[in-house]
A and B are shown apart, each in its own frame.
Chain A
């Protein structure tokens, strides 16, 4: 009997330890992909501060953001939440998930269980629609009108985040990002290219001259889908705005029927197959591409305000210049030639949007620009004067978008995820010359007709 008891005891210990191990692994696994930055702000209510808010029963503000502690979204929100919570005796917790797919999975989990945090990173598209379906999005546009910040926000940013179905603004921008081509002035000079290209024909001509000098004309992070997709999107965007991609997804337009789309397909194929991209571009990611270009390899690189920190030194020394997206020759191009977008954007959970969150929203609007410039080194989405002491590139590029009203059309947001995934696979084959432009066009058109 005693032996039996011992054996049963051992089995029980094993069971408990196995279960506990399982729990530990589960928690560790979450920690591996998602970090949590939790801060306990000192209670400030007793500090006789006149502006202290009546926080009711709320003790904490929670946020789910994509990235790491060094990414812009975290830096801005950590700064804002830290100050706000300290002033109001609250705690805050920011959950971080770095990998994009992991982030989407986590966000889907929160949406499905209707347990979204107070603030969550969310792109405009399928996921924001899913959040709207469960009524978990505050009408940010209405809130901005209430506190008087709507008119201060850049028009193109509002355009970028406006919901395609009802025309409302449910997302707050991560920042203002503008994109442009940077080029090496010395390599342009060496190749005899005197002016920055203004059309794609000039762009290709410049590439040809640069290639003839033995230099790599264009650096591209071809393993990151968006880098090659930009070359596919430039021409349709300049010529049709968001019409082509919206109509393509709706099945009323196609690559074969749209001249600007056909032009873009042929352009990407030529750039890839004529050796204008760096060798092995399909296995180079955007970070490596940045390191290559700003490390001195290649003559042209499609980058933007997010990389000002990397470009600053070379630009100040006169080694770098920039130019906007070239025109598609022979077609009517819209005047906006700098892609402007809002980054990942944030939604506010309607279910938990109480007086405290509203106060935080106002505080955030008031201090957002300062956080953008001092903490994250990105442009603020509000049209305000740039503070002094920023790198020269900020002041030189700002006029390109200061009055822009048309946003960049992100195919990621407009296309159905399945179609997008298939186009991503096909565009790499197109750029590598594995498929011809005609094959690409017929494959992509069949994705919609299916």
Chain B
């Protein structure tokens, strides 16, 4: 049996179903989006071939698209900070807890299993201004003016609030992954560091965290990828607004294709998202790969 699984033909046979499905649902979709991006098409009726016009418009004249790239970058940075570094911090704290660890772990993981729609609904109610939500009610104890603090309808902070909500949802997931990695660090390494006089902080900084660096890099890549393609939190919580204040590349693509009924233009935005994701992914792999080689 072992021998059979080692054969190339058998390996290919097992890879084929996944490859086929991936090709059908991902590659073909991207190719079709690329095809549509050369047309002026409302989704119904005749398609008019316009060549690269959508891309020229997108890259040279569309200020909103440019702002969505910037918003997506900020959104991604916040998510990496919350999900990866927040998750790591929570995992370290969890690994230090002796009593009630399982209960805490479960509690932090609960948002991961709740659907994004429900999470957005919960936060809409928590952050509501009229009627006053729990957050503003609590804040008004310290400062009555904060009772009418706008969270999702304030253009200056709506993007950060949206990013925070996504970060909150997935923090538990990365915490569990980091926790699993941390408990896999051999105790002898920590003991040796302590014998050498390292403090607890130094033990983690110089021994345990470097040991799980591949996990941190992998998680960074996952969060990076997820955040660049993030859609539902911005769409459900703020509709990309007010105005375009929390508009991401994905919500902009959706609005162009389905609300503005510019399928061709929306497809061009989709292709740009694919290209940006690929560039960021390759750059990240290159940077982290080079560091690993060093």
Please report A residues at the B interface, Cβ cutoff 8 Å.
3-4, 6-8, 11, 14-15, 18-19, 22, 101, 104-105, 108, 111-112, 126-127, 130, 133, 216, 222-223, 278-284, 292, 297, 417-418, 420-422, 425-426, 428-429, 432, 434
Q: A292-B131, A418-B260 are in contact. Are A223 and B239 (CB under 8 A)?
A: yes
For residue A216, which residues in chain B have a CB less than 8 angstroms away from its CB? 130
- Check if B10 is an interface residue, CB within 8 A of chain A: yes
- Check if B225 is an interface residue, CB within 8 A of chain A: no
Q: A14-B14, A130-B44 are in contact. Are A280 and B129 (CB under 8 A)?
A: yes
The DSSP consensus for interface residues of chain B is loop
Question: Contact at B17–A111, with CB atoms within 8 Å?
Answer: no
Question: Contact at A18–B21, with CB atoms within 8 Å?
Answer: yes
Identify which of A4, A127, A133, A292 contacts B4 (C-beta below 8 A): A4
Q: A7-B4, A15-B16 are in contact. Are A421 and B128 (CB under 8 A)?
A: no
Q: Which residue of chain B lies nearest to A8 when distances are taken between CB atoms in the complex?
A: B13
The DSSP consensus for interface residues of chain A is helix
Question: Contact at B10–A4, with CB atoms within 8 Å?
Answer: yes
Identify which of A105, A281, A422 contacts B130 (C-beta below 8 A): A281
For residue B242, which residues in chain A have a CB less than 8 angstroms away from its CB? 282, 428-429, 432, 434
For residue A127, which residues in chain B have a CB less than 8 angstroms away from its CB? 44
- Measured CB to CB, the closest approach of chain B to A446, in angstroms, equals 12
Partner-contacting stretch, out of B99-107, B150-158, B196-204: B150-158
Compute how far the CA of A11 lies from the CA of B130 in the bound complex, rounded to whole angstroms.
57
Identify which of A14, A280, A417 contacts B259 (C-beta below 8 A): A417
- Check if B215 is an interface residue, CB within 8 A of chain A: no
Please report B residues at the A interface, Cβ cutoff 8 Å.
1, 3-5, 10, 13-14, 16-18, 20-21, 25, 42-45, 124, 128-131, 148, 150-153, 155, 238-239, 241-244, 254-255, 258-262
Question: Contact at B148–A22, with CB atoms within 8 Å?
Answer: no
The listed residue with most B CB atoms (<10 A of its CB), out of A14, A101, A283, is A283
Question: Contact at B260–A429, with CB atoms within 8 Å?
Answer: no
Compute how far the CA of A448 lies from the CA of B28 in the bound complex, rounded to whole angstroms.
36
Given contacts A281-B130, A284-B130, A417-B260, 17 further A-B contacts (CB under 8 A): A4-B10, A6-B4, A8-B10, A15-B16, A126-B42, A223-B239, A223-B241, A280-B148, A281-B153, A282-B242, A283-B151, A297-B130, A418-B261, A422-B260, A425-B244, A429-B243, A434-B155
Q: Which residue of chain A lies nearest to B243 when distances are taken between CB atoms in the complex?
A: A429
Q: Can you identify 28 A-B contacts, CB atoms within 8 angstroms?
A: A4-B10, A11-B13, A14-B14, A18-B18, A19-B17, A101-B254, A101-B259, A108-B43, A111-B44, A112-B44, A130-B42, A130-B44, A223-B241, A278-B130, A279-B129, A279-B148, A280-B130, A280-B152, A280-B153, A282-B241, A283-B152, A418-B260, A418-B262, A420-B260, A428-B241, A429-B243, A432-B242, A434-B242
